[in-house]
């Protein structure tokens, strides 16, 4: 378990000798392996360019073969470790810049070692550069990060796809980096109590509009759902949607491991669907990728992006400030009910790791539907 999880999970513990020992530098970065993560936008990979990215502290080099297929390799030559991204792609094969070893881009298999003489017995085809399954979905290149030294599952799950509810729709993407451990990024994302303070603005809500809310949650595989409900009456955009559609708005919000929050708003034939993923880059850096699609004729992409960027910047600025405080290893608290989703997240994560370790079915931290109450 990562130090971030550990310190949060025991909010009321007093310092003991054991704690002092546990405070030794943690080596486990607290990542969840064996899931798809978005690495870069699809549009970033063009022609024969090699593009670098980092996921879960693994350096990657990505590119596109001449027939359009994306690939992801570990950005390290198996010969002497120089990043393969300094090499070149001929449309099918990546050639290392140091001694010219050549690797099939999609399988990572070595296809040529130029220095070998006719006497050499080395079996070139047994050498592989690290490579990862790679898929394009919703404008992202997703990489399946299987845990180091393990085999891929026999049947790969598909990369996550955003739900859309009509043939024609608008779609847009935003992102921001947070100088935080993934766990802080995620619990910040699902935190219902920061809205009126961090996202105070004329177009969203005012601090004075705080009122008591009761929301029902239910367990879903690997996560939890805020059951379909009418959204908050103090959020202007939902009020507008209701007015225009002339029908009640229903919102469903899901969180699923490792890092995905989806929201679907429906009102008659009108819909808005969004997904935020918080992806661990390094243990001290994560990135929010936000994609939204809608068929609301009155909402141009430019207006949505204008407000979306403000919203993300507010979260980002808060996380930058929080990181300042977290440098000094403070004790933290999770309170009921506003932080209960965060507690579920930590429990889901711990239970998943445990079930993978033992092979036993994963225990869900929720026993059934639960109503949470908070003021926001």
Q: Which does 82 bind (CB under 5 to 8 A by kind): Fe ion, ligand FES, none?
A: ligand FES
Q: Which does 315 bind (CB under 5 to 8 A by kind): ligand FES, Fe ion, none?
A: Fe ion
Residues at the interface with Fe ion (CB under 5 A): 315
CB of 70 to Fe ion, least distance (A): 31
In the complex, the smallest distance separating the C-beta of residue 231 from Fe ion, rounded to whole angstroms, is 15
Question: Where are any strands of DSSP class E within the chain?
Answer: 35-41, 51-55, 58-64, 70-74, 88-89, 93-95, 102-104, 110-112, 131-132, 134-137, 140-145, 170-178, 212-220, 223-229, 250-256, 260-267, 270-282, 285-294, 370-375
Q: Does 93 bind ligand FES (CB under 6 A)?
A: no
Select 98 or 175, whichever has its Cβ closest to ligand FES: 98
Query: Contact 203/236 with Cβ under 8 angstroms?
Result: yes
Minimum separation from the CB atom of position 109 to ligand FES (A): 14
Under the criterion CB under 6 A, does residue 82 sit at the interface with ligand FES? yes
Structural contact between residues 96 and 77, judged by C-beta atoms closer than 8 angstroms: yes
* Number of residues binding to ligand FES, judged by CB under 6 A: 8
Neighbours of 30 (CB within 10 A): 18
Nearer to Fe ion, 193 or 353 (CB): 193
Is the Cβ of residue 87 or residue 231 nearer to ligand FES in the bound state?
87
Q: How many CB atoms lie within 10 A of CB 120?
A: 10
Query: Which of 13, 22, 90, 99 touches ligand FES (CB under 6 A)?
Result: 99
Figure out which of the listed residues 6, 10, 69, 79 binds ligand FES, where binding follows CB under 6 A: 79
Out of 33, 86, 98, 169, point to the residue binding ligand FES (CB under 6 A): 98
Q: Which is nearer to ligand FES, 80 or 373 (CB)?
A: 80
- Closest CB to ligand FES among residues 102, 181: 102
By C-beta, is 114 or 158 nearer to ligand FES? 114
Q: Report what 79 binds from ligand FES, Fe ion, none; CB cut-off 5-8 Å by kind.
A: ligand FES
Smallest distance, Fe ion to C-beta of residue 276, A: 10
The sheet carrying 170-178 orders its strands as: 170-178, 285-294, 270-282, 260-267, 250-256, 223-229, 212-220, 370-375
**C-alpha 16 chain-centroid distance:** 35
CA distances in angstroms from 169 to 159, 296, 314, 349, listed in the order given: 21, 8, 27, 34
Q: What angle do CA 236, 319, 210 make, to 5 degrees?
A: 35
The stretch among 10-18, 92-100, 210-218, 287-295 that binds ligand FES (CB under 6 A) is: 92-100
Nearest to residue 277, comparing CAs of 354, 198, 173? 173
Nearer to ligand FES, 99 or 313 (CB): 99
Give the interface segment with ligand FES, choosing from 57-65, 96-104, 218-226, 249-257 (CB under 6 A). 96-104
Footprint on residues 100-119 left by ligand FES (CB under 6 A): 101
Q: Which is nearer to ligand FES, 85 or 351 (CB)?
A: 85
Q: How far is the CB of 90 from ligand FES (least distance, A)?
A: 15
Residues recorded for the chain:
376
- d(Cα 82, Cα 124) in Å, to the nearest integer? 19
Contact letters (x/-) for ligand FES, 23-62, by CB under 6 A?
----------------------------------------
**Contact 270/239 with Cβ under 8 angstroms?**
no
Comparing CB distances to ligand FES, the nearer of 101 and 204 is 101
Q: Give the contacts of 118 (CB within 8 A, at least 6 positions apart).
A: none
Q: In the complex, what is the shortest distance from the CB of residue 101 to ligand FES, in angstroms, rounded to a whole number?
A: 4
DSSP string, 19-83: HHHHTSPP-------SEEEEEEEGGG--TT--EEEEETTEEEEEEE-TTS-EEEEESS-TTT---
**Interface with ligand FES includes 96 (CB under 6 A)?**
yes
Is the Cβ–Cβ distance between 219 and 364 less than 8 Å?
A: yes
Q: List contacts with ligand FES (CB under 6 A).
A: 77, 79-80, 82, 96, 98-99, 101
């Amino acid at each position: 378990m990562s130090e971030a999880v550990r310190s949060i999970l025991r909010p009321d513990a007093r310092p003991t000798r054991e704690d002092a020992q546990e405070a030794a530098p943690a080596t486990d970065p607290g990542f969840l392996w064996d899931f798809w993560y978005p690495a870069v936008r699809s549009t970033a990979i063009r022609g024969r360019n090699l593009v670098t990215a980092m996921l879960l502290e693994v350096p990657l080099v990505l590119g596109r073969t001449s027939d359009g297929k994306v690939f992801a390799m570990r950005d390290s030559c198996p010969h002497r470790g120089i990043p393969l991204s300094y090499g070149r792609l001929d449309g099918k094969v990546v050639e290392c810049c140091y001694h010219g070893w050549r690797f099939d881009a999609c399988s990572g298999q070595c296809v040529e070692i130029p220095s070998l003489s006719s006497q050499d017995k080395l079996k070139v085809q047994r050498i592989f550069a690290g490579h990862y399954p790679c898929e394009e979905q919703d404008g992202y290149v997703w990489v399946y990060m299987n845990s180091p030294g393990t085999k891929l599952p026999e049947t790969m799950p598909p990369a996550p796809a955003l739900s859309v509810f009509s043939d024609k729709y608008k779609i847009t993407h935003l992102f921001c980096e947070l100088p935080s451990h993934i766990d802080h990024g995620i619990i910040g994302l699902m935190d219902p109590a920061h809205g009126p303070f961090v996202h105070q603005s004329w177009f969203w809500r005012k601090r004075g509009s705080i009122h008591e809310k009761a929301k029902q949650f239910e367990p879903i595989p690997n996560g939890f759902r805020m059951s379909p409900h009418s959204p908050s009456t103090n959020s202007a955009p939902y009020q507008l949607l209701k007015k225009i559609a002339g029908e009640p708005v229903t919102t469903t919000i899901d969180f699923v491991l490792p890092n995905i929050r989806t929201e679907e708003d429906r009102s008659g034939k009108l819909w808005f669907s969004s997904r935020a993923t918080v992806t661990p880059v390094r243990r001290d850096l994560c990135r929010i990728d936000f994609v939204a699609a809608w068929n609301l004729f009155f909402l141009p992409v430019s207006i949505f992006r204008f407000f979306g960027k403000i919203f993300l910047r507010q979260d980002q600025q808060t996380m930058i400030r929080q990181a300042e405080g977290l440098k000094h290893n403070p004790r933290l608290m999770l309170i009921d009910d506003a932080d209960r989703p965060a507690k579920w997240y930590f429990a889901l994560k711990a239970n998943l790791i445990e079930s993978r370790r033992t092979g036993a079915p994963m225990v869900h931290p929720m026993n059934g539907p639960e109503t949470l109450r908070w003021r926001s």
